[in-house]
Amino acid sequence: MNKNFLDILERPEVFFELKGKSFCDKSIGNMSWLKAGGSAEYLYIPANEDDLSLILESIYEGVDLNIFGNLSNTLIRDGGLPGLSIIIPKSFSNIASMGDTKLKVGSGTSCKVISEKCLELGIGGMEFLSGIPGSLGGGIFMNAGCFGSEFKDIVVDVDFLTKNGKKIHKKNNEINFLYRKSNISRDLIITSATIQGFLKNSKQIKELIDEINSKRISSQPQGFATGGSTFRNTNDYKAWELIKRSGMSNASFGGASVSNVHNNFLINNGNASANDFEILGNMIIEKVKSELGILLDWEIQIVGKHE
Ligand X SMILES: Cc1cc2nc3c(=O)[nH]c(=O)nc-3n(C[C@H](O)[C@H](O)[C@H](O)COP(=O)(O)OP(=O)(O)OC[C@H]3O[C@@H](n4cnc5c(N)ncnc54)[C@H](O)[C@@H]3O)c2cc1C
Residue numbers at the binding site for ligand X (CB under 6 A): 33, 67-74, 88, 107, 131-135, 137-139, 141-142, 144-146, 180, 189-190, 226-228, 301
- What is the smallest separation between the CB atom of 250 and ligand X, expressed in angstroms? 21
Q: Are the C-beta atoms of residues 145 and 151 closer than 8 Å to each other?
A: yes
Phi, psi of 42 (to 5 degrees): -130, 135
Q: Which is nearer to ligand X, 226 or 273 (CB)?
A: 226
Q: Which is nearer to ligand X, 11 or 21 (CB)?
A: 21
Could you confirm whether 299 is annotated as catalytic?
Answer: yes
CA dihedral sign of residues 300, 301, 304, 306: positive
- What is the smallest separation between the CB atom of 152 and ligand X, expressed in angstroms? 11
- What is the smallest separation between the CB atom of 291 and ligand X, expressed in angstroms? 26
Could you confirm whether 127 is annotated as catalytic?
Answer: no
Q: What whole-number distance in Å separates Cα of residue 244 and Cα of residue 270?
A: 24
Give me the catalytic one of 135, 229, 246, 259: 229
Tell me if residue 118 falls in helix, strand or coil: helix
Q: Which is nearer to ligand X, 11 or 305 (CB)?
A: 305
Give me the catalytic one of 127, 135, 180, 273: 180
Please give the radius of gyration of the chain, using alpha carbons only, rounded to the nearest integer. Answer: 20
Could you confirm whether 39 is annotated as catalytic?
Answer: no
Q: Which is nearer to ligand X, 70 or 196 (CB)?
A: 70
Instruction: Tell me the HSE value of 272 on the side-chain side, using a 13 A CA sphere.
Output: 31
Longest Cα pair distance anywhere in the chain, in angstroms? 59
Q: Are the C-beta atoms of residues 289 and 246 closer than 8 Å to each other?
A: no
Q: Which is nearer to ligand X, 18 or 161 (CB)?
A: 161
H-state helical runs in 168-226: 202-219
Q: How far apart, in Å, do the first and last CA atoms of the chain sit?
A: 17
DSSP class of 60: P
- What is the smallest separation between the CB atom of 241 and ligand X, expressed in angstroms? 17
The b/e string for 50-81 (b: 16+ C-beta within 10 A; e otherwise) is ebbbbbbebbeeebebbbbbbbbbbbbbbebb
Q: Which is nearer to ligand X, 111 or 288 (CB)?
A: 111
Burial of 238 (0-12, 13-18, 19+ CB in 10 A): middle
- What is the smallest separation between the CB atom of 66 and ligand X, expressed in angstroms? 6
List, by residue number, the catalytic residues: 180, 229, 299
